[in-house]
Structure 1
Amino acid sequence: MTELPRKAAARTARLAALPLGYAGRQAWGLGRRLGGKPAEAVLSDVQQRTAEQLFRTLGELKGGAMKFGQVLSVLEAALPEEVSAPYREHLTALQDSAPPMPTATVREQLTQHLGADWRERLVWLDGAPTAAASIGQVHRGRWVDHATGADGTERDVAVKVQYPGAGEALMSDLRQIARVARGVAPVFPGIDIKPLVAELQARAADELDYTLEAEAQSAYAEAFAGDPDIVVPGVVAVGGEVLVTEWMDSPYSLAHIIREGTQEERDHYGELFVRFLFEGPHRTGMLHADPHPGNFRILPGPDGEPGRLGVLDFGAVARLPGGTLPAAMGRLMRIALESDEESLVAGLREEGFIKEHIDVDPALVLSYLAPFVEPADHERFTFTREWMREQFERVNDPRAETFTLNTRLNLPTSYLLIHRTWLGGIGLLSQLGATAPFRGILEESLPGFAVD
């Protein structure tokens, strides 16, 4: 067996062990309940042990396993504190790190995808990666573009190199995760894991295509050139499984602010994140759809004051029909804030969120959705883990009237990536604990939301 199939088989075996581990913990939990331990305490123990195995496994893998883990890591804020606290370190580690590939492999990839003469342009390359993600890793280098600069001026660049066989590993892992979703679901009550994996599978081909990523990043870099708050590095070169971009000199990512930031930093960078999220589609016709903290870099201002926000990784973007976020999205949010339940249901039907043959109680629909649009009802809203946790517990409470409504609503295909980005963005803001002028930003940048 060659090295690549051997590693793939090992990943599959470890992922397949997740539901077996969960089944064993359920049996262990049943024994403890029979022994007199309270059901709530047993459930917490089972969730903690399941999460520890899950994120330890995902944190050591690449491909789809790590991609899935990065998406879940943004939703950590929705977990009960007594469950999330013991393994928060496993979650946040997924946002900034992955095992590196050998230097020889990196050079082979550069030769294959940039050409045998790559050393004439990439005159220096750091042997150790500066960052690693689910399908590739980044090295710092120095680039000379002889075609445009006769003087041979050097500039610092980031060289993103895809792991050999990343496409095969990505799809294999996602298929396996889909099969073992039952063993993952207990960690995230209230989150439907299968549609999340299906959406990741649908977008995998785009994320593997560095030419598409280069096109998206170039569009964003041009749109935000000269912006006082947002920095997007320009594209220098692209070839197959290698992408070269301008270097961004940043000491750390938003993951650092989540762990150690002051409240001033949390509020400042949280506001810049929201502004980028909604201003990006307005300027480019695309939505940056991978809002985990590792993709957002901190560029401190003078004397260490909060500064600009750098944005990386444009592999996952939604190319929006009509070049903008749906105007219906803003209108429906405004209608929900105005408590117009009949118009809300009519608008949801028109957009395909409620299918024609499904009957719903308009008052219940408003009750179900109102908390999700609550941030837009305040001049400044403070996102907290407690607030996000309340929303997930509310929709997952079988005693609540709105519990069964979730099964009667439909998520149209055109909103899949928007929904994932919205959920991930809210999760990131809740991890930050940021206070932001959410409503004002929506009025400026979300079509359909502003009052005429």
Structure 2
Amino acid sequence: MKDDEANRFGARAVRYLAVGAQAGGFAARLAGGRLLGATRESDAEALARALGGLKGPLMKAAQLIANIPEVLPADYAEALASLQSEAPPMGAAFVRRRMASELGPHWRERFAAFDLQPAAAASLGQVHRARTLEGADVACKLQYPDMASAVEADLAQLDWALALQKRMEPAIDASEAAQEIAERLREELDYRREAKQATLYRAMLAGHEDIRTPAVHEALSTGRLLTLDWLEGEKVLNFVAAPEEERNRIARAIFNAWWAPFAHYGVIHGDPHLGNYAVFRRDGAVGGINLLDYGCIRIFPTAFVGGVVQLYRGLREGRRDQIAEAYRIWGFRGLNDDLIEILTLWARFILGPLLDDRVRTIADGISPGAYGRREAMEVRRLLREKGPVTIPREFVFMDRAAIGLGGAFLHLAARLNFHRLFEDALQDFDLAALAARQGEALAEAGL
């Protein structure tokens, strides 16, 4: 990353002021509401409005925290989860300057065509459609300026917010979860790393005809510009009224795109929301999905993967000792009978569809926005009584993925035998073989 934007103090100071003003206003409202007996719903709405106005990494961090049901009250989680990940796009003149800073003053000569209007805008950057001199259609992901400074400033504010949360709710310690989120956000700033992660996914999913992944155009990529194949596709939400067979085909591809890399390589896509998938057609029919955006990828120690499989099998067989050992492998400490029972309540919700050997929806009669809400409220109530518990960092993206994937399956109203799909992913599961595959794949991708 170039020195002119590498976590500049001035940019951090500006961001601190912006975040501090919003956070201060929310804190004042919260304190006043408590004194005057105002409802917590108004507090939650105020927090969402404050963070939503800021955009950028703090909003993304808030959404990640909101997906850990044990950390926030249900109304706060709902308000934060509703935040949209879209920032105002950079204008054409700004884009020209940004491209020149990445590829040099004659950058335009390196493309046959380049659309200055973004095709998509997100929290850390925006995507432009272009065509290479060789005639390949590509997606150019261009990072917003001063994102390194914004991330560091926002993470400092997140630490402050979680310290306040811990004082108000001492039964739940999210400090390790916050460290995990901080590491992943910093990694997302490095587009060279994302290029390697895209290459990794292209190798891991090479045998899946219903999942397409883009190739990296390294000569047109830098630390803040990532150029990938442009994959034509339609929004997943366009298919919510499609025939059930098509919806199930899409859901099956999404399931395999997430679980196959985890079961075979110990790698997960940490941001499985609907915007990161697009549906492609083959001969006029639904062929599968394009997997998009490789910034938020988590590579797990193989022992953790074994812990997930052990928890699944322990729940299937009713083996309490196996379940408890799995929680220890996951990173939970200070376990006792009460905490094991509480954690198992949540585990049975998360893994329930995988345990149930029948064709079913992911959660009968539940809307996507309410998925997991009732169970999370009960877990939170019990933890207040039986805690304290520290949420281990490895839990963050496993939990986020379960909620994200569940929401996708609910939107599609998919009916699948999730148990059979998971067993297929675990076929011939062996930790030693997984470790060898993981090491080889990471080395080939340069990770």
TM-score above 0.5: yes
Residues 375 and 438, structure 1, Cα contact 8 Å, conserved in 2: yes
Following the alignment from structure 2 to structure 1, what is the Cα–Cα distance between the partners of residues 427 and 385? 31
Match for residue 52 of structure 1 among 45, 49, 56: 45
Q: Which residue of 2 aligns with 1:116?
A: 105
* Number of equivalenced pairs: 408
Match for residue 275 of structure 1 among 246, 256, 261: 256
Assess, with a 3 A threshold, how the Cα gap between structure 1 residues 406 and 226 changes in structure 2: closer, same or farther: same
> 3-state SS of the aligned residue for 1:235?
coil
1:216 and 2:197 matched: yes
> 3-state SS of the aligned residue for 2:97?
helix
Assess, with a 3 A threshold, how the Cα gap between structure 1 residues 343 and 241 changes in structure 2: closer, same or farther: closer
Tell me the alpha carbon deviations over residues 259-286 of structure 1, each in whole angstroms, 9 at most, x when there is no partner.
x555736544333222111112355553
Following the alignment from structure 2 to structure 1, what is the Cα–Cα distance between the partners of residues 255 and 324? 27
Q: Which residue of 1 aligns with 2:355?
A: 377
Match for residue 394 of structure 1 among 362, 378, 394: 378
Give the C-alpha shift of residue 24 in structure 1. 3.3
Give the C-alpha shift of residue 131 in structure 1. 1.0
Q: Which residue of 2 aligns with 1:364?
A: 341
Following the alignment from structure 1 to structure 2, what is the Cα–Cα distance between the partners of residues 236 and 210? 12
Following the alignment from structure 1 to structure 2, what is the Cα–Cα distance between the partners of residues 341 and 284? 27
Q: Which residue of 1 aligns with 2:17?
A: 9
Q: Which residue of 2 aligns with 1:94?
A: 84
Give the C-alpha shift of residue 391 in structure 1. 1.3
Match for residue 34 of structure 2 among 26, 50, 66: 26
Matches within 5 A, 1:7-406: 9-28=17-36, 30=37, 42=39, 46-47=40-41, 49-71=42-64, 94-95=84-85, 97-144=86-133, 153-181=134-162, 195-225=176-206, 227-237=208-218, 238-252=221-235, 254=236, 256=237, 261-262=241-242, 264=244, 266-282=247-263, 285-300=266-281, 305-322=285-302, 326-349=305-328, 352-355=331-334, 358-361=335-338, 364=341, 368=345, 369-378=347-356, 379-382=358-361, 383=363, 384-385=366-367, 388-398=372-382, 404-405=385-386
Tell me the alpha carbon deviations over residues 214-249 of structure 1, each in whole angstroms, 9 at most, x when there is no partner.
011012123334632111111113212111111122
CA-based RMSD of the aligned residues comes to 3.9
The one-letter amino acid of 2:374's match is E
Identity value in percent: 27
Following the alignment from structure 1 to structure 2, what is the Cα–Cα distance between the partners of residues 107 and 333? 51
Give the C-alpha shift of residue 93 in structure 1. 6.1
Following the alignment from structure 2 to structure 1, what is the Cα–Cα distance between the partners of residues 379 and 300? 29
Q: Which residue of 2 aligns with 1:147?
A: none
Tell me the alpha carbon deviations over residues 85-122 of structure 1, each in whole angstroms, 9 at most, x when there is no partner.
9x88x955614x22112322322222222233322222
Following the alignment from structure 1 to structure 2, what is the Cα–Cα distance between the partners of residues 122 and 23? 55
Following the alignment from structure 1 to structure 2, what is the Cα–Cα distance between the partners of residues 297 and 156? 16
TM-score when scaled to structure 2? 0.77
Assess, with a 3 A threshold, how the Cα gap between structure 1 residues 113 and 376 changes in structure 2: closer, same or farther: same
Residues 269 and 297, structure 2, Cα contact 8 Å, conserved in 1: yes
> 3-state SS of the aligned residue for 1:101?
coil
Following the alignment from structure 1 to structure 2, what is the Cα–Cα distance between the partners of residues 251 and 141? 18
The one-letter amino acid of 2:417's match is P
Q: Which residue of 2 aligns with 1:149?
A: none
> 3-state SS of the aligned residue for 1:436?
coil
Tell me the alpha carbon deviations over residues 7-26 of structure 1, each in whole angstroms, 9 at most, x when there is no partner.
65224322332222333343
The one-letter amino acid of 2:229's match is E
Assess, with a 3 A threshold, how the Cα gap between structure 1 residues 17 and 381 changes in structure 2: closer, same or farther: farther
> 3-state SS of the aligned residue for 1:239?
coil
Match for residue 445 of structure 1 among 417, 425, 435: 425
Following the alignment from structure 2 to structure 1, what is the Cα–Cα distance between the partners of residues 46 and 286? 37
Q: Which residue of 1 aligns with 2:434?
A: none
Give the C-alpha shift of residue 184 in structure 1. 8.3
Following the alignment from structure 1 to structure 2, what is the Cα–Cα distance between the partners of residues 309 and 191? 38
Residues 176 and 392, structure 2, Cα contact 8 Å, conserved in 1: no
The one-letter amino acid of 2:231's match is M
Residues 388 and 430, structure 1, Cα contact 8 Å, conserved in 2: no
User: Which shifted more, 429-438 or 126-135?
Assistant: 429-438
The one-letter amino acid of 2:319's match is D
Assess, with a 3 A threshold, how the Cα gap between structure 1 residues 275 and 313 changes in structure 2: closer, same or farther: same
Unaligned runs of 5+ in 2: 1-8, 431-447
> 3-state SS of the aligned residue for 1:243?
strand
Assess, with a 3 A threshold, how the Cα gap between structure 1 residues 61 and 431 changes in structure 2: closer, same or farther: farther
TM-score when scaled to structure 1? 0.76
Assess, with a 3 A threshold, how the Cα gap between structure 1 residues 169 and 327 changes in structure 2: closer, same or farther: same
Following the alignment from structure 2 to structure 1, what is the Cα–Cα distance between the partners of residues 12 and 95? 16
Give the C-alpha shift of residue 155 in structure 1. 1.8
Assess, with a 3 A threshold, how the Cα gap between structure 1 residues 438 and 229 changes in structure 2: closer, same or farther: same
